[in-house]
Structure 1
């Protein structure tokens, strides 16, 4: 469990601030083309996390940070491609980049607004891919209000000369992934499609780690529900915990299931923007998606069974309580009846003036009560 948590742990890096001399808030910088709104408010970092040119799989180092316009111009002049990473850009921040790279307005709108389902859309000169990232939320104990999974989004624009990522959410940083790719120039030399595969593989590997962690939570709940000595556990809390976990699994399912079709298309259909050598690797990603999808569907069905079993146990426990109450009521009815009869103000009552009448009546009442108790206990009512 600790190893899985270490795999899920990710550090959210600080984003570098681009120089204002090259990227102004309004207007255009001399020789840089369209203006880019690089800051939402004064003093806050830019939405652009990183912008670099890669040639033959190697990052082109420059003395100063490149603007998207400068990076694209360098890629077209000397070859290679541009990789731009953004985090939660506003419409104003992204409009200039979208115009510079010729991104389709519908895809741009989806990238800015977020809250999209996983999908793959093909346009004339680019591919638009949406991934849902999943982060497992650590918790000491699963409660009725515990947040188990947290979702984010990564939108990818893939072109011949560029690759643009737009990330939403507080987790799912791609900085470590970028560094790993930079350490593998042979792979990165395949172009933007290699980056798309790396991100898809990275996201799906995150699904696998989260699936193992969710499995642990489900096993814990299942053990508690079916443990022999759980009569003292509050059944209302159990049902609420199971239902909360089921809702979190449903959110997980919404992130995984729609991704199966896009990965299948990327692995089976030839596409102009996907290198044939890279396309083979998408098959492995597609297989992993299907495997996680089957796991999540199994989680959902298992939680349904656990919830039904828990409700059935609660119903049986209530029936047992009602049987005990009914049994004790039957026992108490005997002395109640005797007291009711002898409490009436009649002159002629059985054995009313006999010296041993009272002990006799009490003895008979006790014997009857003991007989009823033994009979009900033998039949499992007590």
Structure 2
């Protein structure tokens, strides 16, 4: 069957990133949302639509074109969903979480995927890079893209998981730098706060990654969705990548915990050294204080009170006693 010749690009609408029709793994036309349903019902054709923070009106148009379930649309509107996979009739609804570094913090976004016969719709919210590289990669392999919805679902999931890697690499580099500083000096207040923020961000990232592992396993084994046998190993590969990311998150969080504890122990050790020095000097100063206190008492009959060399002997005794104490404390490492 001859492919339909490409038509002019549809009018740009806020929230629409791309909307295209494919046949035999090749892009044949850009499409308008109002015609997307018709294109998806053509034999051998597939519609791929990408949306970014769409309005309710735009989601309603997409819902009408592909008869999407109201509950899934409601989730796509609200966002802030936990990664999951649900089946609504002939449509599969997948929720994933994306990650991106924004001003040194791990920002989480959200992507919803509607996958049905002849169509795939992605809805992005929040922090997320463009899926254009994933689309271009898929379009560069018509043989794989010919597998249809299954391959597009894999391509998007794989792209999301791959983008966890640069986030983890940046965080790991910063953690290693903090570790090096811990060995040289006590951390400042802002550095300790940074340790806490990184650990909290990694916990949030972990809550986004772990449920996605279960989603990929369901796709791999076809528990809820009938996946092409040739595509199942690809979803297994995504699961392996996710498990690797999960292990990296756990390892970095453990390193951060050790770094935090090391910082506290170094601080306590520094306080102990200061306390020892203060105690040693207090002991040294106690000698002249005690002697001066004794000879400062208002008694008429005191030994050596009228002795000609008493003043010099007392001063010499004070200096000698303080010198012995200083030597002992210095030898024991208190000074």
Q: Any idea what the Cα deviations from partners look like across 1:83-107, whole Å, max 9, x if unmatched?
A: 1111011223212211321111221
Asked whether the equivalents of residues 21 and 45 of structure 2 are also in contact (C-alpha less than 8 Å), the reply is yes
Name the SS for the 1:244 alignment partner: helix
Question: Is there any run of 5+ residues in structure 1 with no aligned partner, and where?
Answer: 1-16, 21-37, 39-45, 139-146
Name the SS for the 2:163 alignment partner: helix
Residues 1:367 and 2:320 aligned together:
yes
Q: Any idea what the Cα deviations from partners look like across 1:168-215, whole Å, max 9, x if unmatched?
A: 124321122212222221111111111110011111111122222222
Please state how far the C-alpha of 1:287 moved relative to its aligned partner.
0.7
Structure 2: distance between partners of 1:320 and 1:193: 64
Larger deviation, residues 102-111 vs 263-272: 263-272
Larger deviation, residues 253-262 vs 168-177: 168-177
Match of 1:329 in 2: 282
Asked whether the equivalents of residues 99 and 127 of structure 2 are also in contact (C-alpha less than 8 Å), the reply is no
The aligned length equals 327
Structure 2: distance between partners of 1:362 and 1:292: 71
Please state how far the C-alpha of 1:330 moved relative to its aligned partner.
0.7
Match of 1:192 in 2: 149
Name the SS for the 1:275 alignment partner: coil
Residues 1:80 and 2:45 aligned together:
yes
Residues 1:58 and 2:15 aligned together:
no
Q: Any idea what the Cα deviations from partners look like across 1:257-316, whole Å, max 9, x if unmatched?
A: 111111111112266553221222111111111111111112222222222222122222
Of 255, 268, 293, the match for 2:221: 268
Give the RMSD, CA atoms, in angstroms.
2.0
Match of 1:19 in 2: 11
Match of 1:14 in 2: none
Question: Is there any run of 5+ residues in structure 2 with no aligned partner, and where?
Answer: 1-8
Asked whether the equivalents of residues 86 and 92 of structure 2 are also in contact (C-alpha less than 8 Å), the reply is yes
Q: Any idea what the Cα deviations from partners look like across 1:218-238, whole Å, max 9, x if unmatched?
A: 21122222x1x31xx455344
Normalized per residue, which structure has more strand? 2
Of 295, 301, 312, the match for 1:348: 301
Please state how far the C-alpha of 1:128 moved relative to its aligned partner.
0.9
Asked whether the equivalents of residues 239 and 311 of structure 1 are also in contact (C-alpha less than 8 Å), the reply is no
Name the SS for the 2:214 alignment partner: helix
Map 1:210-359; keep pairs closer than 5 Å.
Answer: 210-225=167-182, 227=183, 229-230=184-185, 233-269=186-222, 273-359=226-312
Structure 2: distance between partners of 1:176 and 1:353: 99
Distance verdict in 2 for CA 1:348–1:120, change over 3 Å = same
TM-score for the superposition, normalised by structure 1: 0.80
TM-score for the superposition, normalised by structure 2: 0.91
Structure 2: distance between partners of 1:272 and 1:289: 20
Distance verdict in 2 for CA 1:92–1:75, change over 3 Å = closer
Match of 2:55 in 1: 90
Please state how far the C-alpha of 1:60 moved relative to its aligned partner.
1.5
